[in-house]
Amino acid sequence: MAKDYYNVLGVDKKATQDDIKKAFRKLAHKHHPDKGGSDDTFKEITEAYAVLSDEKKRREYDTYGQAFAGAHSTGSGQGAQGNPFGGFDFSQFQQGFGGGVEFDMGDIFGDIFGGRQQSRTPRGRDISIDLEVPFKDAVFGTERTVLINRVSACNVCQGSGGKPGTEITTCTTCNGSGRVHEMRNSILGQFSSMRTCAVCDGTGKIPKEKCTECRGHGVKRTEVELRITIPAGIDNGEMIRMPSQGEAVKTGIAGDLYVKMHVKPHMTFRREGTNLVMRLPIKLTDALLGTTVSIESLEGKILEVKIPPMKRAEELLRVAGKGVPTGSRGGLSRAESRGDLIIGLEMALPHKLSSKAKKSVEDLRSEGL
């Protein structure tokens, strides 16, 4: 009975090439013999993929079934020379089933046999540091200078790895391609793959004389002074990302620097979103009769705050525009683009009453207060 290759891969007959490829990757991971899978099952899904991944073979298969010219017998026993995949000829499969199928075996089996061989720009490691700032600086923003130890581009050769003025020659290991071709043995036979040349780091060029400062590496661990701009309104635990300020790598791009903020508590103020909150002790008489008090704002300015008569302790006073800046990160500098200052009143009772004060309080009691 002819095999249903679509059913083998678990895809619909209208599946795209991308769907077929994804299905094969998933099944190959699950059933690969090196991972404890069945040889016969792996052979079957590989055969199905070899046909359906090629448009010409797929059309022939859709028209004639498994009897089309490019099909191969799969047999159930051991093939010639102990091939565990029976009659299925993987040498022809690797070459494209007689000249028809061509695909990147490193791309298909890369994550099974040690990683895909894709060309990617090297990137340095990210760095993270912790920085503690006073409450006021976190609210209004500031700058800090820090010293960090990181791998940076060599300041002598500017990251090239060569002695200044030296001749740059073609790498003989990869012949200037930056890639090295190698053969790998697997259960399917031999597969070719490409990897980045370790001699020239993928550049295809090498200096005739190495830089004496970095010994040809192009990078060197050094202590660097960095100025960090802390935006207004940053909160405790937030991160500042500084692109390309992480560790450098030869012939690639530097990683990023991440700064985690730790905001010191303030003796008077605390933060609730974009508002600043404080407690204000007042005398009993001021709460009853009302008054005007002077308080110092976070930025050091004196604010005159009016307390209405008969103000309850659980009620709050609001001073608009004296809280946390809300638009500074976007370049907004208007003073009104801030939260509010919220003042909670606290009744400050005296430790001792004079005879006169005691009589006054008793008079208040007689009035039902």
Residue 263 backbone dihedrals phi, psi, to 5 degrees: -95, 125
Distance (Å, rounded) from C-alpha 45 to C-alpha 331? 58
Proportion of the chain above pLDDT 70, given as a percent? 78
Proportion of the chain above pLDDT 90, given as a percent? 30
Q: Which domain range does residue 148 map to? A: 127-263
Last residue of a domain, one of 263, 286, 310: 263
Number of folded domains that form the chain:
3
Distance (Å, rounded) from C-alpha 65 to C-alpha 58? 9
42 assigned to some structural domain: yes
Shared-domain flag, residues 228 and 341: no
Query: Is residue 211 exposed (0-12), middle (13-18) or buried (19+ Cβ within 10 Å)?
Result: buried
DSSP string computed for 50-96: HHHTSHHHHHHHHHHGGGSTT-----SS--GGG-TTTT--HHHHHHT
- More confidently predicted of 64 and 116: 64
Mapped onto helix, strand or coil, the DSSP state of residue 8 is: helix
Confidence of residue 78 (pLDDT cuts 50, 70, 90): very low
What's the Cα-to-Cα distance from 209 to each of 163, 169, 205, rounded to whole Å?
Answer: 6, 10, 12
Max Cα-Cα span within the chain: 117
Task: Specify the range with the lowest mean pLDDT, choosing from 87-91, 97-101, 292-296, 335-339.
Answer: 97-101
Average pLDDT of the chain is 79
Shared-domain flag, residues 259 and 281: no
Shared-domain flag, residues 79 and 132: no
Shared-domain flag, residues 170 and 296: no
Shared-domain flag, residues 308 and 332: yes
197 assigned to some structural domain: yes
119 assigned to some structural domain: no
108 assigned to some structural domain: no
Give pLDDT tens digits for 329-350.
544 444 458 899 999 988 877 7
Last residue of a domain, one of 245, 263, 281: 263
111 assigned to some structural domain: no
Distance (Å, rounded) from C-alpha 335 to C-alpha 322? 9
Mapped onto helix, strand or coil, the DSSP state of residue 288 is: helix
What's the Cα-to-Cα distance from 183 to each of 23, 25, 186, 190, 195, rounded to whole Å?
Answer: 26, 21, 10, 6, 11
Query: Is residue 234 exposed (0-12), middle (13-18) or buried (19+ Cβ within 10 Å)?
Result: buried
Amino acid at 360: S
60 token code pair: 């022939």
Distance (Å, rounded) from C-alpha 292 to C-alpha 282? 10
Shared-domain flag, residues 244 and 329: no
The answer for residues whose C-beta is within 8 angstroms of residue 152's C-beta and 6 or more apart is 219, 220, 221, 222, 224, 247, 248
- In this prediction, residue 318 carries a pLDDT of 93
Give pLDDT tens digits for 247-262.
998 878 899 999 999 9
Q: E strands of the chain, at which residues? A: 127-133, 142-153, 168-170, 179-186, 189-196, 205-207, 219-230, 239-242, 257-263, 270-272, 275-283, 291-296, 302-307, 316-319, 341-348
Answer yes or no: are the C-beta atoms of 319 and 341 closer than 8 Å: yes
What's the Cα-to-Cα distance from 37 to each of 10, 27, 32, 42, 87, rounded to whole Å?
Answer: 17, 10, 5, 7, 19
Last residue of a domain, one of 263, 287, 321: 263
Question: Does residue 61 carry a pLDDT above 80?
Answer: yes
Burial 18-54 (b: 16+ CB within 10 A, else e): eebbebbbebbeebbbeeebebeebbbbbbbbbbbbb
Shared-domain flag, residues 173 and 56: no
Shared-domain flag, residues 55 and 76: yes
Q: Which residues pair with 142 in a beta bridge?
A: 230
